[in-house]
Structure 1
Amino acid sequence: MKRSARIQYFVSFAVSLAAVTSGVLLAWITPVMPKFLNNETAINITKEEISWMASIGFPGFVGGSLMSRYMTDNVGRRATILGSAVPILIGTVIILNTTKVWLLYVTHFLWGVAGAIVGNVSTMYLAEISDKEIRGTLLAANRYLFSFGNFLVMCIGPFISYDTLNWIVLALPICYFIVCCFVPESPYYLLKEAKVDAARQALIKLGGSSDENELEERLTGMKSDVYKEMLRSGSLKELFTGKQYRKALVMVIGLKLAAVMTGSIAISQYLGVIIQECKMDIEMSTALIAFGAIKLLSGVLLSVIVDKIGRRPLLFYSFIGSAITLGISAYFFTRPTFFRYSSYVPFVGIIIFTVLSTVGYNSLGSILLAEIFPMNVKLVATTLINVLGGFLNFFTVKGYQQMKDILGLSGTFWFYAASAFLGALFTHFMAIETKGKSLREIQIELQGDIYDEAEDKLNKVVANEEKQESNEK
């Protein structure tokens, strides 16, 4: 393994500790919801209030997405990741010292803010600091450690008290804050800020070539690409009106919509209640641990295969597989006595669905988002998609109980299955492959002739500015 790859794996691990924390926060409600319903805490809370608590984090996610856009451009990727620890600490201190339901809402909102900042910035940072040969693996590993956070809370949550679980949550942001103090800033960000010497040092820390000429050649190429991309506008208007971004924008919006509407977040958060309704002869804690472990192993599988199989096949077959498994679960929800083990079939279907969604669209959406937009609009595009995802997840999780009351558990799962099938159709017609391609090569495929025309114009602008600079000297 090259020295640069070893260093980048270490940096990825450090940054991904924040993803572990985000995974814990998102899955916190899964083992805690049965504790609330069984009166195992000092908090009196109704099912309606639980549904608000489970969903209120997603408006926080919207707010965090908007904040991350400002922070990433003004203080840098590294400082933004460090700053994400603050709302987690505040929210957890609140939850450790309250029995009021409305303060639980505040905590979940703050956790949602932090989750958005971590999700937005960590993928962008890792895409910018990694070599193209391992970029997919590092981004997938980030998602894997998010799944590890899910697994961690599902393993220990059923066996410890509500207060003990919250003390553990308090320690997590402190840990990743300390570790991330040692990672370098993204050289792309430093070049955007015209800090060439700092960018050179960041490249060296990230395992850049020890050959000075090779290092300078790489730095010059990066500087040229950043300069050209930043000559274009980075506004929301530019994103929507620029023809060169249209295909990428349609692709990520369609994939985000399909992924959310498969109900993976709602199913995960209501899993404890769903297991109870399946009436399986199995302990709740055992079922939650099995769910978390399989989700974790799915993350490991993704990190191994993402740069071998490719993004597009994984997207397509994960949607198709999800449609089938969700449909089977929906069918057996209404036939619990069809055969001896019928009551287990929906849970097995949910497990397989979780594997497919983790290996496929739930993880690859964020990877593609970091890959397919040029630097000038990457941040605004990431913010837009995460704001959209925050609203969609809010309505999906908040509406789960209402949908279940109207359609029943079986009808709700049939709706999710239909959404997954539509996602497969969309992938077939709209998704592109990015495996093994540099960020520049991806732009050429997405934009075609438009990229060449824009490149010619930008080269002329760069040449004119360089000529003016030389004349001034």
Structure 2
Amino acid sequence: MAWSSPIIAILENDDIDKIPLKRQITEDEESWIGSLMAMGGIFGPLIFQYFVQTVGRKITVTVIAFPFLVAYLISAFSETIWLFYIARILMGVGVGGMFSILPIFVVETVEDINRGLLQASTTTSLMLGLLFSYSLGPYVSIMAFNLVLASICIIFVPIFWFVAPETPYYLITINKEEQAMKSLMYLRRKPSEDLQKELETIKLHLDQLKKASFLDIFKTKIAVKAFLYSVALTTFQQFSGVTVILSFAQNIFDATGSNIPPEICSIIVGSAQFVVSFISPPFLDKIGKRILLLIAVSGAILAEVVLGVYFYLEDNGNDISSIGWLPVVSLVAFITFYNFGMGSIPWAVMGEILPLNIISKAAAVATSFYWFTGFFLTKYFTSLSNAIGMAGTFWLFAGFCVLFDLFVYFFLFETKGKSLKEIQAILNK
């Protein structure tokens, strides 16, 4: 997701020798590079939801690495803007698939008591990747940066394939009960009596579910509420402006006029993301997702309002030299609160509340809409900021966060420690 931040900065560099295109990119080309990942994200969930039902969860998660691998190899050797466009779309296909499939894999492999912790830990892995991009990207060539990323994909595939089991839920759906028990033994390391009880619980739950079509998302109260909650949570997350901030971090910092170099600011933000992603998971199972999300969104509102004030003062000719540190602090605060709950909780809740018979289809649609929104925001971020200013843009994002907070307060219920069956019962009230 952060790939575009250092790459766009290089493609805008005054030193033409560093640019593989042998020219600087235009403002329109910059917006396409920033936004096409989100366009690919629209189609990724739809593609991989087919795989997750036909070949299983394990194979699907493994295959998600290949769009990234091809995209990085294309980017490493690209000398035309169109190849960068194609690469960005392929990255989006992979990201969209990852966002829609990983929650399913986690929910189907982890015990209820540990579910929140592991779901949050996936955000830690994501933040490590963002920090890696911010730290390496500005200091090496585009070719070297992308070849390093491609090598990581190559390493991931065999490690995941040999370490991760297929989920017991999927194995039962294809009538492989013996293999499902082996999967549970590998995942739980518990006495066989306990595993047999859990296996029977899974079978009972799946027996109560009927094979569903896309239209079944809208046929029951439980399914409709779960789907609408999932779309609302993920869409509000996108309208917080997070994808814009991650995609254009160096550009945003450059616009602040701060005396801190933009690439250093990006590394500071990336470091904050990574550190906070370690701090937040234990709170999930202590105070619950709902309270944590309310705190996180409220903090994000404050951070974006303050950042908007800074840009307002700058745009009106005020002397801001004494507060040049404020944009960095504001964005670090935003990212801190984002990783404290806004980043992981909407996806974790989606994986918990969607009924298993519609989860792949509903999650695919919700994730596709999420990335459609992301494409719209990243494509027109530059135009929007030119029209209403950076101040107005961040105040607008803060306004959407206010709506996010209100939705969580009035509609979202706590899922901490509840089984999937208990969650479905709450949705049916």
TM category, shorter? over 0.9
CA positional deviation for 1:249: 2.3
Q: Is residue 2:297 matched to residue 1:316?
A: no
CA-atom RMSD in angstroms: 1.4
Partner of 2:83: 103
On the 8 A contact 1:261/1:420 being kept in 2, the answer is yes
Q: Helix, strand or coil for the counterpart of 1:42?
A: coil
CA positional deviation for 1:162: 1.6
User: TM-score, length-normalised on structure 2?
Assistant: 0.95
On the 8 A contact 2:234/2:347 being kept in 1, the answer is no
Q: Helix, strand or coil for the counterpart of 1:27?
A: coil
The counterpart of 1:383, out of the listed 335, 359, 364, is 364
CA positional deviation for 1:253: 1.8
Partner of 1:30: 5
Partner of 1:136: 116
Q: Counterpart amino acid of 1:36?
A: L
On the 8 A contact 1:234/1:377 being kept in 2, the answer is yes
Q: Counterpart amino acid of 1:318?
A: A
CA positional deviation for 1:285: 2.8
| Alpha-carbon distance in 1 for matches of 2:36, 2:2 | 14
The counterpart of 1:285, out of the listed 256, 263, 266, is 263
Q: Counterpart amino acid of 1:53?
A: I
Q: Which has the larger radius of gyration?
A: 1
CA positional deviation for 1:254: 1.7
Q: Which range moves more in the overlay, 185-194 or 305-314? A: 305-314
Partner of 2:323: 342
Q: Is residue 2:303 matched to residue 1:325?
A: yes
Counting aligned pairs with the same residue, the percent is 26
CA positional deviation for 1:29: 0.9
User: TM-score, length-normalised on structure 1?
Assistant: 0.86
| Alpha-carbon distance in 2 for matches of 1:284, 1:429 | 39
| Alpha-carbon distance in 2 for matches of 1:433, 1:210 | 31
The counterpart of 2:273, out of the listed 289, 292, 295, is 295
1:357-436 pair list within 5 angstroms:
357-436=338-417
Q: Counterpart amino acid of 2:341?
A: G
The counterpart of 2:39, out of the listed 59, 67, 72, is 59
Q: Is residue 2:182 matched to residue 1:201?
A: yes
Q: Is residue 2:144 matched to residue 1:146?
A: no
| Alpha-carbon distance in 1 for matches of 2:107, 2:319 | 49
| Alpha-carbon distance in 1 for matches of 2:165, 2:310 | 52
Q: Counterpart amino acid of 2:196?
A: E
Partner of 1:13: none
CA positional deviation for 1:208: 4.3
| Alpha-carbon distance in 2 for matches of 1:333, 1:426 | 28
The counterpart of 2:249, out of the listed 249, 264, 271, is 271
On the 8 A contact 1:137/1:307 being kept in 2, the answer is yes
Q: Counterpart amino acid of 2:247?
A: Q
Q: How many residues end up aligned between the 2 structures?
A: 420
Q: Counterpart amino acid of 1:131?
A: E
On the 8 A contact 1:329/1:347 being kept in 2, the answer is no
Q: Give the unaligned 5+ runs of structure 2.
A: none
Q: Which range moves more in the overlay, 41-50 or 415-424? A: 41-50
| Alpha-carbon distance in 1 for matches of 2:228, 2:106 | 24
Q: Deviations over 1:301-338 (max 9, x none)?
A: 12221111211011112222211211111111121445
Q: Give the unaligned 5+ runs of structure 1.
A: 1-25, 449-473
Partner of 2:201: 221
Q: Counterpart amino acid of 1:312?
A: R
CA positional deviation for 1:447: 1.2
Q: Helix, strand or coil for the counterpart of 1:435?
A: coil
Partner of 1:307: 285
Q: Helix, strand or coil for the counterpart of 1:197?
A: helix
